[in-house]
């Protein structure tokens, strides 16, 4: 006698499994929705749909991978960012809400100041560069990354989403020579190695360490960005950065010393933590 594996029963089974772990029930819903290409309302409407035996086996395997601390986004192979769906692999970070807030800040500033030339440093899957280009198609957007594997993912995303972005491989500003930009945006590696013990195990085990960690208490990349930024921003241009919630004092000192004439503005994320920095170039950079 065949057992009827409905979507509802499959999710109830997954909830029981995940409740015995540190993982949230929402991981099961996320997998089902993205696997079946449903939004949450559609998921509820399909609760009584029956899964084939093959689909049931596939879903069980996906839940087991979550139990083994594999991120659902890597299992599905995509992740949402802003209004778009991006391909993600273990070569790139999984998009996070804080980075969406950074992107929104950039969009406001680009429109307000009529910026045209944009640089995304450490583009990863291309979420920032591609989203900015999609939202404001007249922009000239360049994106760099030290990882060829990450750039390959970014280029695929740009092609899929029909975004004309110039990608260059190399370390920070190296690929762009002496070129200047109106707005530079970056979510660089900023986690200190001594923070590994308190990190989410799923992040540490699966996401690319080159995009997560930096020497000097997580500030090594920022030290280099601060030193080189004055030569790559146009007069009255801006740089926007994401950083760790405890790093504001260090970054305030770092950028003030590197560029005393620049104006610094820090902003909190939706959780109330200082997580974003704006560096405003003077009239004569």
Q: Which residues are annotated as a binding site for substrate?
A: 187-190
Residue 95: DSSP 8-state: P
The Cα angle at residue 274 between residues 103 and 256, in degrees rounded to 5: 90
CA dihedral 82, 87, 88, 92 (to 10 degrees): -80
Residue ranges for the known binding site are: 122-126, 145, 187-190
Annotated binding-site ranges for S-adenosyl-L-methionine: 122-126, 145, 187
Instruction: Report the C-alpha gap between 184 and 106 in whole angstroms.
Output: 9
* Nearest alpha-carbon partner for 115 in 139, 144, 143, 141: 139
Surface-to-core class of residue 49, CB atoms within 10 Å of its CB (0-12 exposed, 13-18 middle, 19+ buried): middle
SS3 track for 252-278: HHHHHHHCCCCEEEEEECCCCCEEEEE
């Amino acid at each position: 006698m065949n057992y009827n594996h409905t979507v509802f029963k499959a999710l109830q089974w997954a909830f029981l499994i995940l409740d015995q772990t540190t993982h949230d029930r929402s991981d099961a819903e996320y997998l089902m929705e993205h696997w079946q290409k449903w939004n949450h309302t559609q998921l509820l409407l399909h609760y009584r749909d029956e899964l084939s035996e093959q689909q049931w086996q596939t879903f069980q395997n996906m839940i087991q991978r979550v139990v083994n601390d594999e991120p659902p986004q890597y299992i599905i192979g995509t992740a949402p960012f802003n209004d778009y769906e991006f391909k993600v692999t273990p070569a790139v970070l999984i998009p996070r809400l804080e980075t969406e807030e950074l992107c929104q800040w950039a969009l406001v500033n680009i429109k307000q100041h009529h910026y045209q030339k944009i640089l995304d440093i450490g583009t990863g899957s291309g979420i920032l560069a591609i989203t900015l280009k999609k939202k404001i198609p007249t922009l000239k957007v360049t994106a760099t990354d030290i990882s060829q594997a990450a750039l390959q993912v970014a280029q695929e995303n740009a092609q899929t989403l029909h975004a004309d972005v110039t990608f260059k491989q190399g370390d920070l500003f190296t690929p762009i020579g002496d070129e200047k930009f109106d707005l530079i945006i970056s979510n660089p590696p900023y986690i200190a190695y001594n923070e590994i013990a308190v990190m989410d195990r799923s992040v540490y085990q699966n996401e690319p360490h080159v995009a997560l960690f930096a020497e000097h208490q997580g500030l090594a990349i920022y030290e280099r960005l601060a030193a080189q930024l004055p030569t790559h921003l146009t007069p009255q241009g801006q740089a926007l950065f994401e950083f760790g919630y405890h790093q504001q004092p260090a970054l305030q000192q770092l950028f003030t010393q590197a560029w005393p004439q620049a104006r610094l503005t820090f902003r909190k994320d939706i959780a109330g933590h200082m997580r974003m920095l704006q560096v405003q170039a003077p009239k004569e950079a």
